[in-house]
Structure 1
Amino acid sequence: MARNTSDDVRGDGTRPDDPAEIGRRVLRLRGERGLTQRQLAEPAYTPAYVSTLESGKVRPSEAALRHLAERLGVSYDELATGRPARLAAGLRLRLTDARRALATGAPGDAAALFRALHEEAVAHELAPEQADALLGLGDCLLESGELTDARDCFAAAERLLSDDPLPRRVPAIRGRATAHLLTGELRYACYLLESTLDELDSAGLHDPEALLLLYTASIAPYMDMGAHARAAHAAELALALAPSVRDPALVAGMHRGVARTLIAEGRIAEADASLAKAQELYRQLHIRTELAHCHWMRGYVHAQHGDLEHAENELRTARAIHASKRAALFTGQVEVELADVLRRRGKTDEAQELLRPLLMSGEDDVCGDAKAGDEAGTLGAGRGAVHAGGAHRLLGLIAEERGDTERAEEHYCAALSLLERSSAAGDLADLCRLLGDLLRRSGRVEAAMDAYRTGLGHRAAPGTTTLGPAPATPPM
């Protein structure tokens, strides 16, 4: 249940149900309607009672407020709380419009709408609408790459809904987990999602939409950490829940998440079919960001299958959509994937030109031609760390192919640092192999052995992590 507005204190220390506040509203409304105190009071009350009420010396009963509201031609809620009639319904409609603006346009433009709606909801002490505005603003900030601010928005929304049932708070928790994932804090993202799943199960709150949102969100951090078995299990549970969910956007997200586990299992045709279902739903819903993500993943599928021409086309489409929406972080992440395909197609110079501007200037002292004082790039340790590691890996490969082993080693070491910090076990082993081979060829056998040992440590138990026990499986 949403918090009672009687518990809300305004910036001036008053509450909307204070007798003085109610008295002022009655006096203002009576004056606007040209009524005398007697006309307002009769037949149930006296002019003296109305005078005492307007001066804030008495707290009116519910019956008195209902009588006065009827005489003044306003709703009981408006007189009791000061909220204009149908304000909450109007705000919800405008929140829907802001969501549509985010789906089809730039996150910065939609963020301005959500901020204005949040301010209006705060002014009228509408806690549920405040929370929904913060959720929308958080999603805008995720797209634009402002991850710390996004995380703070989701946390504030969660606090506003602290008295609501847990399923109502799940979108805010999922948002926080996504912000931590994008910064490279994979383990904490998993912790947030798994602990919420366990809390839902222990409370018997088996809400299909909340569960589907959590299981779908957990697939990406599981995969990046190398916990493939746990990701596959989450995908199976999400598929089982889908028939019970009516929200097509949630179902589309599930299909996109499941496709990633199918790719890892080599089930390319099934993965492509799952992505096609997601794409069709996103087209119908006009959600361009998620549609771009589907093109991105289909590009990855084609690349894994060796069809580099189609992979390049899909990734360029994804990049164009994200760039048109000014979604800087997602654009940068797609550019890393595109650079990999371009390098494999022999377009090395173009790949290098894509990658260099993406990395934080001065990061790990290997950011190419970046000059001191240049603005930070798109990706780095606290912003798309896994893809930043991938960018360094690709720049290392390009440098090695050109015979610049010193530069290649610097990039490999920078990538290793980023991936270790983010616990991205899925990519660490391959990187350690590349670094070990490079060191061995340059005659540094002991250093090469250390690199190989590090890689073997991450490959010792495929599909496992140091995460705790998996969340309990809910009854389906």
Structure 2
Amino acid sequence: MGDRDDPETIGRRVQRLRIERGLTQRQLAEPSYTPAYVSTLEAGRVRASEEALRHIAGRLGVAYEELVTGRPARLATDLRLRLTEAQRTLATGETEQARRQYAGLLAEAETHGIGEVRAAALLGLGECALESGELADGRRFFERAEECLADAPLPGRVPALRGRAVAHYLAGELRYAVYLLESTLDELNRGGLHDPDALLLLYASAIGPYMDMGAHARAAQAAEFALALAPQAGDPALVARMHRSVARTLLAEGRLAEADASLAKAAELYRTLQLRTELANCHWMRGYVYAQDGRLDRAEDELREALAMLTAKRAALYSSQVAVELADVLHRRGRSEEAAELLHEVLDGLSSERGAVHAAAAHRLLGIIAEDARDTEAAEEHYVRALSLLERAGAAGDLADLCRLLGDLLRRTGRVEAALDAYRTGLGHRTAPGTTTLGPAPAQPPL
């Protein structure tokens, strides 16, 4: 009853369809209603019951849904089927094709006023924009999706909120990204809205910005929560394909409600596929912990697993942080040439506008490798470029560490005054991770 047009719109539609079919008001009304009732309904002066509208729809030869919404009976189901196709396309890394599919869905959803499909299409376009590095466009799509979902419960708005946070994070706006993620987690956990998928998505997305801000304890805790919340699925892509095939069969037989249910299961599995990609962050976090503990073989295994979980289309922005960490492990294992090659690949896909923090991390490590090879000129050049990138992004903890490295290099080459300046700059950026850069940790989920 909630998804139907107002009485005046329905009345005009009934009148138009009746005239098109050459029926009188009496013929439409009989045997259950009077011509006067039909006249009142057509004038929009009565809110007809579902029973009455189903009777009239039957006499007019149209589906009830089409009569009360103006949409062809199968339109919503057909759009949902196409939506799962677009989700599958995006999950397999075909970003441009997925973008075209989502754009077509958005246009049709807006034409017919199907809010659920419109929001899903906007979210899909936002994800496509993130994958192709169009961060401002992505943020706008997520903001529009949030507006579309304004009346939905918070768990339903989480994908849009998370998308906006990731767009800010990839643009180098670390603190604001963390604020968005943590405030949403707080609202979910304190409000008792313990939706596992929503929580998993937020915790997995918070790991990257936490690490870049030096809040390693929070990153480790977020990874622990995400892994505990991770849904168990054997082969979600295979099961999703099965549900899509079943939906097509049900559609052909006119069993729309069952087709919709099958499509809903397919859509959920495609969301799970995307969550599994997010879980690459958790393997990255494990790799980081192993590296800090000196267990470099385990660290390399976890970091390679994280890279393997990320699609090739996401390499430039999503896997750069993992690649830098892996390069550090390779360097520490005595494979500096392999590490340097990996770092140059990272830098080829990034710029100061896209992934500044990760580009800075690559330059920092290349500087360390150059120092080990006694190429002080190259080392200084990499440190200075990293410093410029980090100052723009506001990554305080990394800036302090980099200033120390640069100061040590300058001191060893006899430039004491320049070294002192570098040390002073570093002290100005020094913060305790997780305290002055971040507020209190968000409330914990019940696990």
Q: TM-score normalized by structure 1?
A: 0.70
Given residue 81 of structure 1, which amino acid in structure 2 is its aligned partner?
T
What is the CA-CA distance between 1:353 and the residue it aligns to?
6.5
Length, aligned pairs only: 407
2:59 corresponds in structure 1 to 71
Q: TM-score normalized by structure 2?
A: 0.74
What is the CA-CA distance between 1:155 and the residue it aligns to?
1.1
Take 1:82 and 1:408, find their aligned partners in 2: how far apart are those partners? 68
Take 2:408 and 2:218, find their aligned partners in 1: how far apart are those partners? 31
Moved more, 431-440 or 306-315: 306-315
In structure 1, stretches of 5+ residues that fail to align are 7-15, 252-280, 360-376
Take 1:60 and 1:420, find their aligned partners in 2: how far apart are those partners? 65
CA 59–379 in structure 1, closer or farther in 2 if over 3 Å, else same: farther
Are the equivalent residues in 2 in contact too, given 1:103–1:288 (CA < 8 A)? no
1:467 corresponds in structure 2 to 438
**Is residue 197 of structure 1 aligned with residue 179 of structure 2?**
no
CA 167–317 in structure 1, closer or farther in 2 if over 3 Å, else same: closer
**Is residue 442 of structure 1 aligned with residue 424 of structure 2?**
no
**Is residue 188 of structure 1 aligned with residue 184 of structure 2?**
no
Query: Structure 1, residues 138-175: CA drift from partner, whole Å, max 9, x if none?
Result: 12222222211111111111111111121211111111
Map 1:140-219 to 2 at 5 A. Answer: 140-201=128-189, 203-219=191-207
Query: Structure 1, residues 353-409: CA drift from partner, whole Å, max 9, x if none?
Result: 6656765xxxxxxxxxxxxxxxxx632333112111123224434655676645543
2:304 corresponds in structure 1 to 314
In structure 2, stretches of 5+ residues that fail to align are 237-268
2:260 corresponds in structure 1 to none
Are the equivalent residues in 2 in contact too, given 1:144–1:327 (CA < 8 A)? no
Q: Which of residues 38, 45, 48 is equivalent to 1:62?
A: 48
Q: Which of residues 353, 356, 364 is equivalent to 1:382?
A: 353
Take 2:25 and 2:435, find their aligned partners in 1: how far apart are those partners? 75
**Is residue 391 of structure 1 aligned with residue 381 of structure 2?**
no
Map 1:38-437 to 2 at 5 A. Answer: 38-43=26-31, 44-46=33-35, 57-59=43-45, 61-63=47-49, 65-201=53-189, 203-238=191-226, 242=229, 248=233, 289=277, 305-307=295-297, 314=304, 318=308, 322-323=311-312, 325=313, 328-330=316-318, 336=324, 348=337, 359=347, 378-397=349-368, 400=371, 405-437=376-408
1:261 corresponds in structure 2 to none
Take 2:224 and 2:93, find their aligned partners in 1: how far apart are those partners? 33
What is the CA-CA distance between 1:310 and the residue it aligns to?
5.9
SS, match of residue 381 in structure 1: coil
CA 329–357 in structure 1, closer or farther in 2 if over 3 Å, else same: same
What is the CA-CA distance between 1:330 and the residue it aligns to?
3.6
Given residue 467 of structure 1, which amino acid in structure 2 is its aligned partner?
L
What is the CA-CA distance between 1:188 and the residue it aligns to?
0.4
2:241 corresponds in structure 1 to none
What is the CA-CA distance between 1:204 and the residue it aligns to?
4.3
Are the equivalent residues in 1 in contact too, given 2:207–2:281 (CA < 8 A)? no
CA 32–475 in structure 1, closer or farther in 2 if over 3 Å, else same: same
Given residue 450 of structure 1, which amino acid in structure 2 is its aligned partner?
D
Are the equivalent residues in 2 in contact too, given 1:396–1:409 (CA < 8 A)? yes
SS, match of residue 152 in structure 2: coil
Take 1:23 and 1:409, find their aligned partners in 2: how far apart are those partners? 77
Take 1:221 and 1:73, find their aligned partners in 2: how far apart are those partners? 57
Query: Structure 1, residues 421-442: CA drift from partner, whole Å, max 9, x if none?
Result: 3343453343222211221123
SS, match of residue 220 in structure 1: helix
CA 311–435 in structure 1, closer or farther in 2 if over 3 Å, else same: farther
CA 404–34 in structure 1, closer or farther in 2 if over 3 Å, else same: farther
What is the CA-CA distance between 1:22 and the residue it aligns to?
3.9
Query: Structure 1, residues 12-54: CA drift from partner, whole Å, max 9, x if none?
Result: xxxx6473x545643554466565555334342439956x977
Are the equivalent residues in 2 in contact too, given 1:316–1:338 (CA < 8 A)? no
Take 1:469 and 1:341, find their aligned partners in 2: how far apart are those partners? 32
Are the equivalent residues in 2 in contact too, given 1:141–1:147 (CA < 8 A)? yes
Are the equivalent residues in 2 in contact too, given 1:26–1:79 (CA < 8 A)? yes
Take 1:116 and 1:164, find their aligned partners in 2: how far apart are those partners? 24
CA 336–227 in structure 1, closer or farther in 2 if over 3 Å, else same: closer
Are the equivalent residues in 1 in contact too, given 2:129–2:135 (CA < 8 A)? yes
Take 1:293 and 1:207, find their aligned partners in 2: how far apart are those partners? 20
Take 2:342 and 2:197, find their aligned partners in 1: how far apart are those partners? 39
CA 74–436 in structure 1, closer or farther in 2 if over 3 Å, else same: same
Q: Give me the identity figure in percent.
A: 65
What is the CA-CA distance between 1:120 and the residue it aligns to?
1.5
Given residue 436 of structure 1, which amino acid in structure 2 is its aligned partner?
G
